[in-house]
Structure 1
Amino acid sequence: MATATKSKMKLHSTSIDIPQDVREQMIALLNQQLADTFDLYSQVKQAHWNVKGMDFMQLHEYFDELAEVIQEYVDEVAERATALGGIAMGTARMAASNSSLEEMNADLKTGEQFVRALVGRMADYAKSTREAIDTADEAGDISTSDLFTEISRAVDKHLWFLEAHIQ
């Protein structure tokens, strides 16, 4: 997980009663998850736009629905970082340069290829989200931990949906 140092991070004023060092740690954590969440969103949209084959319509619609769910979490993670006095590092370029997720192969076409690729991305994202829950818990930021818990439940559900296509 990403960590920030006091000398690198300038915080905006806030009345949230979380110590500055904890806020800095959470902002760095949130920005790492923001990069991964935004990257995951873009990869799901890539699948949505490019899927081909007999299951096109089902997957095209599902990938769009999944992207909408993930996009909500992009916004919530970014807003939590700013609520803590930080800056959300949320451009496409920032996400691309900071994401820990594997890049989507541009040669994928079939539904099965896209589903398998997304299963891997979602599983990695689910793991990092659970790690973020633990990190926020250990830091004493229950609100950030709760946000990641909410995201974790949704990611696990959609990972189950994706895996059901290939089991």
Structure 2
Amino acid sequence: MSTQETVRRAAGTVEENAVRIETAKAEQIIEALNVDLAATYVLYHQLRKHHWNVEGAEFNDLHEFLGERAEEAEDAADELAERAQALGGVPVSGPANLEAHAPVEFEGEDVYDIRTSLEHDREMYGDIIETVREHVGLAEDLEDYATSELLRGILEDLEDAAHEVDHYLEDDTLVRTN
């Protein structure tokens, strides 16, 4: 085991990249990607929490739905981090850094009824959609078309998930309450 520690790249730094995006442009894009990465991890943890705690007559469908959406968020986070790294940056990581960079807040540790939980998810999806949409435009303006395409794909998945959550929140249901 090595006793020598060497920092290869300091967090928050940007170096030249093989994809030939100018460093000044890459810095802006990496900052945006790190915001999206942080938001995606907050979403992931909230969806996982709801997946673990869902109860009731619609348990099975919601448990599966929330698990799939959490996996989708985890995959998106991986893509965002890898793109930031490809642009010469260091992807944001660690709970404190993710919380500091995220434009959304985790709902907290308490367990809510599923309708409230889904309303929180819908709100978070909406906030993240707005941020990612802005970052698509930023990437386009900075002529980073690959990042723009990546973000467009993530945006489409976010919008689909938000739409599905909205369907779960409709008042038309076969399940009766007293």
TM-score with structure 1 setting the length: 0.89
In the TM superposition, residue 55 of structure 1 has moved relative to its aligned partner by: 1.7
Q: Percent identity over the alignment?
A: 28
Q: Would you say the 8 A contact 1:41–1:70 is kept in 2? A: yes
Alignment partner of 1:124: what SS?
helix
Unaligned stretches of 5+ residues in structure 2: 1-10, 171-178
Matches within 5 A, 1:28-43: 28-43=31-46
Say if 1:112 and 1:166, in contact at 8 Å, map to a contact too.
Answer: yes
Aligned to 1:124: 127
Q: Which residue number in structure 2 is paired with residue 141 of structure 1?
A: 144
- Tell me which residue corresponds to 2:106: 103
Which structure: larger Rg? 2
Q: Which runs of 5+ in 1 are unaligned?
A: 1-7
Mapped pair 1:89 → 2:101: no
What's the Cα RMSD here?
A: 1.5
The structure 1 residue matched to 2:27, chosen from 24, 34, 38, is: 24
State how far apart, in whole Å, the 2-side matches of 1:18 and 1:153 are.
25
TM-score (norm 2): 0.84
**2:108 & 2:18 partners in 1: Cα distance?**
45
1:55 to 2:58 alignment:
yes
Measure the CA separation in 2 of the matches of 1:52 and 1:141.
44
Structure with a larger share of its residues in helix: 1
- Letter of the 2:131 partner, please give it: S
- Structure 1 residue ranges, 4+ long, deviating more than 6 angstroms after superposition: none
Aligned length: 160
1:4 alignment partner in structure 2:
none
Q: Who is 1:64 aligned against?
A: 67
**Counterpart-to-counterpart distance in 1, 2:100 and 2:73:** 19
Write the letter of the residue equivalent to 1:75.
Answer: D
Aligned to 1:161: 164
Counterpart in 2 of 1:79? 82
Q: CA deviation at 1:140?
A: 1.0
